[in-house]
Amino acid sequence: MEKHIIGRGLLAGALAAVVAFIFARIFVEPAIEAAIAYEDGVGSAHEAIEAAAGHSHSHGEAGGGFSRAVQMNVGLGFGMLAFSVAMGALFAVVFAVAYGRVGDVSARLLTLYIAGGMLLSIYVVPTLKYPASPPALSLDETLRQRTLLYLLMVVLSAALLIGAVYLGRRLVERLGTWNAAVAAGGAYVVAVAVLMLVLPAIDETPGPLRDDAGVIVYEGFPADVLYDFRLYSLGTQVVMWTTIALVFAPLASRLLDGRREALRA
């Protein structure tokens, strides 16, 4: 049975990757292009300042790597496919563990609960603390620190959500379903808030570039580009998880709910 569930999760993840890729290709990539253009502009401004100061240092041309056409099509496609399929498999594992153990909930409804919970705990909450950043917005020397902190936030957020669900289940008999859900949700919010206060903040948004005289020679990173990138990055995740839920729900329902009704009969 578990193999059938995971297989359906993999299929849902693969289909979700296609839809999310189309969304990201249309909406996210223009923001990335604008960020790269800003990065190139800052580099040219730095060279102009150095030339004016009499420095002969040259930054040179970036060598190797893939072209933007390859990155925004093949690279984005394979990256989205790998991530979405992995999330589909993880989703199916969580579903297989939860089904039949969280009360008399249908496969369709449980699918929506799990998809919403995973979107919230794996992406939305960690992004509130460490939002996604386009090129030119992050320093290379902080890459390892930012990656580790983000992964830590993801793991702790997911663990806290699982703990909140467990707490809610334990409080149902004492407080009732509604009050138990409110108490568990409040506990999760408080725990996440404390976690965000404890973990260090990272702010690397470039400000205006100034010359030695303090004159602004190049503007800071455009706020609208940053807004668009983060908004559409969130949109990509919403599209992916929504597609996983919509594809997985009927497949799981046909597999499991019919069998449950047969057992009841």
164 has pLDDT over 90: yes
* pLDDT tens digit sequence for 41-59: 887 877 777 776 666 444 4
Instruction: Supply 134's token pair.
Output: 């386009």
242 has pLDDT over 50: yes
Region of 43 please: left (phi>0), alpha (psi -120 to 50) or beta. Answer: alpha
Q: For residues 73 and 33, give the distance between their C-alpha atoms in angstroms, rounded to a whole number.
A: 13
Predicted confidence at residue 244, as pLDDT, reads 97
DSSP state of 103: S
Predicted confidence at residue 30, as pLDDT, reads 93
| Window from 96-105, 151-160, 179-188, 192-201 with minimum mean pLDDT | 96-105
Alpha-helical segments (H) within the chain: 2-52, 68-70, 76-98, 107-118, 125-129, 143-175, 177-198, 223-252, 258-264
pLDDT average, residue stretch 66-84: 87
CA 27 remoteness from chain centre? 16
> When comparing pLDDT for 133 and 63, which is higher?
133
82 has pLDDT over 80: yes
Predicted confidence at residue 62, as pLDDT, reads 46
* pLDDT tens digit sequence for 83-102: 999 999 999 999 999 888 77
Q: How far is CA 205 from CA 99, 139, 214, 218, 229, in A?
A: 44, 10, 19, 14, 13
261 has pLDDT over 70: no
Instruction: Supply 18's token pair.
Output: 């296609």
Predicted confidence at residue 236, as pLDDT, reads 97
Domain ranges of the chain: 2-56+66-137+220-264, 139-204
Q: Are 89 and 9 in contact (CB under 8 A)?
A: yes
- The CB density around residue 136, as the number of other CB atoms within 10 Å, is 21
| Window from 126-140, 157-171, 190-204 with minimum mean pLDDT | 126-140
Length of the chain: 265
